[in-house]
Amino acid sequence: MNRFRRAVMWAALLLIILLTALSIYGAFIGPERAERFFNSIALGVYWLVLAVLLAVGIIVFRRLIRMPGLLLIHLGCIIVLAGGIWGSKAGYGLREKLFGISKIREGQMVIHEGTRENQVMIGSARETAELPFQVGLKDFRMEYYKPGQLLVQSRQGKRWSIPAEIGNEYPLDEQHGTVKILRSFENFKIKKEDGKNVYYDDPQPGSNPALEVQINPPDGDAKTRYVFELFPGHAHAEDKLSLRYQRVISDYVSELQVIKDDKVVAEKDIEVNHPLYYGGYHFYQHSYDDKAGRYTVLMVVSDTGLNLVYAGYLMLCIGVLWHLWLRHLLKAIKPKDTGAADSGGAAVPGPSIEPDPPIVNDTVSLAPGGI
């Protein structure tokens, strides 16, 4: 290996070690600071140098051209870097300056049920930008795993977790008797009728999930209690058992419409893992109105550079799989007279910085008798 190629290899190794150290440093400073750090000017220089070095490597090492797996790995890395730079804040700024292209990179939208919106809040919400179309929210809802759980705890610290199924009676122990769930409410309310409290499920908008529970102690003095999901501390002082009602959210769903020129051009019920894609933007379920469930918060993300990153990922994966697995597998299933057998566990002499380096003699063969 000549001096230049040796220098390229050393530079590659140093850049790998440096990026490892920087990644570890980034893990200690938290995601927000890490994002700023890895998008700083100094790191921008690092990414450019890395991309250039990868390209130089492909040019100067014939082995990288001859071996399709290695070529795909290195090209894939370059393309991922290019996609990342193209979609970064600096990339957006550069495109705006050079080509006058202005596109929202990332922001949030708050949309109330039954309304439409095209304002996107950017950064700390002091800035806003407009989408070239409107997004409407037909409905927002949260879905829960069924049944919920009634958590019972005695004063001695003994605990029971009971499925909140109406009509079922669950034995606790000899001291505490049984617990029966009588009713469940989505929006618990109380009203007075003839001087008596009447408990009912209010169909009006709002949320106050609760259970009506009957505690049947062994002495037969049954009591009815109301257990609220949103008010877990609510309990009678004389009770021997403390009760909690717990439900686990299974999904958040926003029923969205995209409206352009007063026409609905796209429609989708978005959930976590299932964003809406329209007009070069992805719309993600980000947050919601946790009091009444009347509005949703969407994250809006531009797709600039994304296809490049995905293409790079694909090349990287195919390259790694081909180079380390598949070519050996193909070699192993070829008839032996075509040269399937290789050099076995032969020792590789000296430094392997050669045009055809020793790594060739030392790769994994999937054939039982290979290498």
Rounded to the nearest whole angstrom, what is the least distance from the CB of residue 183 to another protein in the complex? 24
Q: Which is nearer to another protein, 101 or 272 (CB)?
A: 272
Member of 2, 4, 7, 23 binding another protein (CB under 8 A): 23
Contact 245, 227 (CB under 8 A): yes
353 sits near another protein (criterion: CB under 8 A): yes
- C-alpha angle with apex 141: 243 to 110, nearest 5 degrees? 115
Secondary structure class of 121 (helix, strand, coil)? strand
Query: Which residues make beta-bridge pairs with 140?
Result: 254
Task: Report how far residue 156's alpha carbon sits from residue 278's, in angstroms, rounded to the nearest whole number.
Answer: 57
Amino acid present at 276:
L
Is the distance from CB of 136 to CB of 124 less than 8 angstroms?
Answer: no
Q: Is residue 30 involved in binding another protein (CB under 8 A)?
A: yes
Among 104, 306, 340, 341, binds another protein (CB under 8 A): 306
Indicate whether 357 belongs to the interface with another protein (CB under 8 A): yes
Instruction: Answer yes or no whether residue 157 interacts with another protein by CB under 8 A.
Output: no
Q: How far apart are the first and last CA of the chain?
A: 25
The residue from 112, 114, 145, 292 that contacts another protein (CB under 8 A) is: 145
Residue 42 interacts with another protein (CB under 8 A): yes or no:
no
Q: Is 213 exposed, middle or buried (CB count within 10 Å of its CB: 0-12, 13-18, 19+)?
A: buried
The interface with another protein within residues 74-93 (CB under 8 A) comprises 84
The count of residues in the chain is 371
Tell me which residue has tokens 């490597």: 57
Interface pattern 90-129 for another protein (x via CB under 8 A): ----------------x-----------------------
316 near another protein, rule: CB under 8 A: yes
Q: What phi-psi label fits residue 296: left (phi over 0), alpha (psi between -120 and 50 degrees) or beta?
A: beta
Q: 178 or 343, CB closer to another protein?
A: 343
Q: How many residues bind another protein (CB under 8 A)?
A: 65
Query: Which of 30/233 has CB closer to another protein?
Result: 30
Instruction: Determine the Cα–Cα distance for residues 115 and 272; give it in Å rounded to an integer.
Output: 21
Distance CA 143, CA 247 (A): 10
Q: Contacting another protein (CB under 8 A), which of 226, 301, 308, 331?
A: 301
41 binds another protein (CB under 8 A): no
Number of Cα atoms under 13 Å in the Cβ half of residue 21: 7
Q: How far apart are CA 137 and CA 274, in angstroms?
A: 16
- Judged by CB under 8 A, which of 178, 282, 289, 294 binds another protein? 282
**Is 2 a binder of another protein (CB under 8 A)?**
no
**What is the rounded distance in angstroms from the CA atom of residue 121 to the CA atom of residue 110?**
9
Tokens at residue 68, please?
């399709």
**Closest distance between another protein and the C-beta of residue 44, in Å?**
15
Q: Choose the binding region for another protein from 23-31, 127-135, 176-184, 256-264 (rule: CB under 8 A).
A: 23-31
Binding site for another protein (CB under 8 A): 9-10, 12-13, 16-17, 19-20, 23-24, 26-28, 30-32, 34-35, 38, 84, 106, 145, 248-252, 271-275, 282, 284, 286, 299, 301, 306, 309-310, 313, 316-317, 320-321, 324-325, 345, 347-353, 357-359, 362-364, 366-368, 371
